[in-house]
Structure 1
Amino acid sequence: MRSFTRTSDSRFALLDVDLERLSLPASLLRRMAFTPIVLSSHLQTLFVGSVRHAVTLPSDQTEGADMYLTGLADVVLRAALGREIDHSDTAEMRRVQAIRYMERHLSESSLDADTVAGALMMSRRTLFAAFAASEHGDTPMVYLRRLRMDQAMRLLTGGPATIREIAHACGFVSNAHFTRTFVKHAGQTPTEFRLANRPSRRARH
């Protein structure tokens, strides 16, 4: 969502959403331009409550609400177009939101399931259900650990950062914890992985 704006009339709010972040094709959305959308009582209650909550958040806590409202806008538009919205659609939307949030906050050692769920205005149970419904059925924390390890591998092979710097960039508070987790994931220590996968001196010249 590019912006959320309260209008001079307290009954209205403006949501400016990037089309590429919605699941619907632009061709379908164009025909809805400047057309009022009548919501069901359930969606109306959900949307109004979410917006009211979002406007009370301090500026440093709006990222999760932004992602949540973008997903909610997608649901509203699908409903307005008569597209069927089933449980799997909603679960996938929430999982994608959670993954995007994780990717933006990988360096934070305090990042966990409760943090992600709270930031995205959903319960811990809803968050776990969204991941359980995916193809692999990983838990949020298993997926977060994989994201951190993938990031660590990229940093180990692509730059001069020290092991300590990479550990902190991936959300680990100590080298020991980072090394233990990395060995379980890759079967090598970070140093061994770096030596085995860095381009040769000849390739760099």
Structure 2
Amino acid sequence: MARWNVTAVNDPDAFDRYRAGLADWYDTSGFSDADASRFFTEKTICQFGDFVLTRGRSIGQTLTRGPEQIRRSGLDGVTLLLDFGGLEGDADGLTVSGRPGTVHIRHQARLSAARLAAVDVLTITMPREAAPPWLMEPHLHGASIDSCPAIGRILINHISVLASTAPTMGLEQGINSIRAALILAEKAFRNSGRLSSNQTKAVYRSIRAAATQHIDRHLTESQLGIVHLTNAIGVSRATLFRAFSESGGINRHITHQRLQRARSALLERIGRNPSVAEIAHTHGFVSEAHFSRLFKLAYGTPPGAVRPLRTLPEPDFSGDIRYDLLLDWMKGGPD
């Protein structure tokens, strides 16, 4: 991950360095005389395999990718751009515009220009070979969708939450979340309708995989819950609930996993150590009473009644050869 927050106040050359840094990607223009002194740029960049996700803010400007920038950058891929400030521009001869909260598609090897009143954008960028084929269809360069259709709102919300939580995501979580965004984007841009059954299953499968992985790593933490998960894996509450609906819900899944792990801890105890209260606390339950009630509902017996697995003494082969004793131990017979 890379991150910076530079202003003309703390770096008098920030404006010139910004324009020079972007020169191979974009020609920057449309600045006022006062912009150099009030200039700022904020950027967060996260890479997940072939995918690069960015969050950027800056002053208003025009960004143009002409033949020279396309040649110098050598980029041949596609960007999904969620713009929060509103833009007007051109995509290879097609006039484009979008109100705040619109997702745009831009092919990097084709001409484009955008005038932004203020740079406030999220982007997901990938090379051609990593992009799904539909996203590289020529007619989609310059396409956009806003929050009017339901699928547009879902896509925008998903990208927004993904970007806010990306800095804390692992590689697999990030890739799964971006792939889910691309499935939503396909439906939004190609059909503007409801997801097919297979597409829905694919989205929810990737969300469940990311959530389950995160749950397993943080299962013993008391703060693990809906808010924690939505922030960690980059989805809305509603999407998370739907992803686990067939398995009884996300809270039930977390509780089930905690109970299983706590039961293992009870079986591995030496005598009564650790105590039921200690096991409850270390496995994310709010109290011993809460743990005991849930445990009895799940297993039909209170946790205190669980007998630790008997640790069998090692056979002593220094005297008689007692295969009868060894066999008895293997069968679980008396000592």
* Shorter-normalised TM range: 0.5 to 0.7
User: Offset of 1:139 from its aligned partner?
Assistant: 0.5
- Residue 302 of structure 2: aligned partner: 189
- Alignment match of 2:124 (pick from 37, 40, 47): 47
- Between structures 1 and 2, the one with greater strand share: 2
SS in 2 for 1:47: strand
- Alignment match of 1:172 (pick from 277, 281, 285): 285
User: Offset of 1:90 from its aligned partner?
Assistant: 0.9
User: Offset of 1:191 from its aligned partner?
Assistant: 2.0
Task: List gaps (5 residues or longer) in structure 2.
Answer: 5-17, 26-43, 51-74, 82-102, 106-121, 126-158, 186-195, 315-335
Deviation string 1:100-125 (CA, Å, 9 cap, x unpaired) is 22222222223222221122221110
Aligned residues: 170
Of 112-121 and 42-51, deviating more is 42-51
SS in 2 for 1:122: coil
User: Offset of 1:204 from its aligned partner?
Assistant: 4.4
- Alignment match of 2:263 (pick from 136, 153, 169): 153
Task: List gaps (5 residues or longer) in structure 1.
Answer: 19-34, 56-61
- Residue 174 of structure 2: aligned partner: 69
Classify 1:112/1:14 alpha carbon distance in 2 versus 1 (closer, same or farther; 3 Å). closer
- Alignment match of 2:248 (pick from 118, 138, 145): 138
Amino acid at match of 1:38: V
Residues 163 and 234 in structure 2, CA contact (< 8 A), matched pair in contact too: no
User: Offset of 1:38 from its aligned partner?
Assistant: 2.9
SS in 2 for 1:71: helix
Q: Take 2:104 and 2:176, find their aligned partners in 1: how far apart are those partners?
A: 13
Residues 221 and 284 in structure 2, CA contact (< 8 A), matched pair in contact too: yes
The TM-score, its normalising length taken from structure 2, stands at: 0.42
Larger Rg: 2
Cα RMSD between the aligned structures? 3.8
Residues 65 and 121 in structure 1, CA contact (< 8 A), matched pair in contact too: no
Identity rate, percent: 24
- Residue 35 of structure 2: aligned partner: none
Classify 1:173/1:148 alpha carbon distance in 2 versus 1 (closer, same or farther; 3 Å). same
1:106 corresponds to 2:219: yes
SS in 2 for 1:111: coil
Residues 169 and 232 in structure 2, CA contact (< 8 A), matched pair in contact too: yes
Residues 180 and 207 in structure 2, CA contact (< 8 A), matched pair in contact too: no
Deviation string 1:4-55 (CA, Å, 9 cap, x unpaired) is 346996779562549xxxxxxxxxxxxxxxx954356658666366675357
- Residue 241 of structure 2: aligned partner: 128
Classify 1:162/1:77 alpha carbon distance in 2 versus 1 (closer, same or farther; 3 Å). same
- Between structures 1 and 2, the one with greater helix share: 1
User: Offset of 1:145 from its aligned partner?
Assistant: 0.7
Classify 1:182/1:73 alpha carbon distance in 2 versus 1 (closer, same or farther; 3 Å). same
